[in-house]
Amino acid sequence: MVTLAALRAHLVGAGIAGVVATPREKSLRSYRLFVAGDPRQTLGLEPARSWTQSGLLRLMADRCGVSPDPGHTSGQDVIDPDRTLAGLEAFAVRLKEAAQRREPVLIGTGHPHRLLGFYAGLAAALSAAGCPVLTPSHGRCIDMATQFGLRTYNLWYVGGVATVRDAPGEGARGAPAVHTHSPLPVRAALAGAAGRGGLLPSLVVGDHGWVCGAGQLGIEAIGLADSDDPAVFVAETEGRVSAVVPLDDAVRSDYYRPLTRYVLNRACLSQ
C-alpha cells in the first residue's frame, strides 16, 4: 500500500509536483493563447465566459498551485503536491463509483509515451470490476492539423486506452502512438459509438482534448493536466470536467506507477 506521505514525497522527488520541468514562460504563453481562443490551447472547449489573462492566472494559482504573481515570468513552474493529492482522491472516488455501478468507460490519452501505463492500469482494473471499457471506432482515420500540415492518423486502442498513430502509408506498419492535444480523437470515438447504436460512455478518463472534448459534448470526464494546460482547469471550473489532477505529464512513465497503485487502492480496485 502506498501511504499518503510516501506518495507526496514521491511526487516531489520525481518532479511530478513541487518544482516541475514546465518552464514558466511556456505556461504564460499557453494562458495568453487560451485567452485569445487559440484551438491549440482550448482543446475542444468553448468557454462559457470570457477569460482575461489575469483571471486565468488566478484560476491556475488556485487550482494548480502556480505562482499568482504576473511579474514572475521565468524559471520553472510549481505545482502544489497537496492539490495533486486532492485531485487523485477525487479521481479515485469517481472511479470507485463507476466500478460499483459498472458504468461504461472510455479512456484515452494524448500522452502515450508517458501516461499509457497509468491509464492501462485503470482500464484493466475497471474491466475486472465489470465496467465495459469501450473501444469504439478502432482503426478509424482522423485528419488532424499539425505543424507539418494536415496529416492522417488512426484511432488505436492499446490495453483499452485510445491513442492515435500514423495511418498506413504515413509511417511504418505498427507505428507508435503520437502526442496530440486534439479533441478530434474523442469526437471520432463517440461518433462511432453513437452511429452504430453502441454503448456511450458514462465517463471519459484522459487528458487534454479527451477530457475537454468530452466535457464540451456533455459527457462526464475526469483527467490529468499540467500547469500549461489551462483549458482543463477552466473546464473543471465551469462544470464541464468533474475532477482534474494537476501534475507534470512528461516525466518518466514508470514514475506514475505509484499514482496508479494509490488511485486503485483508494478506489477499492486493487487486484
Q: Is residue 2 over pLDDT 80? A: no
Q: Is residue 231 over pLDDT 50? A: yes
Pick from 231, 199, 201: which is nearest to 219 by CA? 201
Q: Is residue 239 over pLDDT 70? A: yes
Q: Is residue 265 over pLDDT 50? A: yes
Residue that wins the pLDDT comparison between 96 and 168:
96
User: Pairing state of beta strands 161-166 and 149-158?
Assistant: antiparallel
Please name the fold of domain 4-266.
Rossmann fold (3.40.50)
Residues of the chain with pLDDT > 70: what percent?
96
Residues of the chain with pLDDT > 90: what percent?
89
Would you list the domain boundaries of the chain? 4-266
User: Pairing state of beta strands 141-146 and 149-158?
Assistant: antiparallel
Quick one: pLDDT at residue 174? 60
Q: Is residue 13 over pLDDT 90? A: yes
Quick one: pLDDT at residue 169? 56
pTM: 0.95
pLDDT (mean) for 128-157: 91
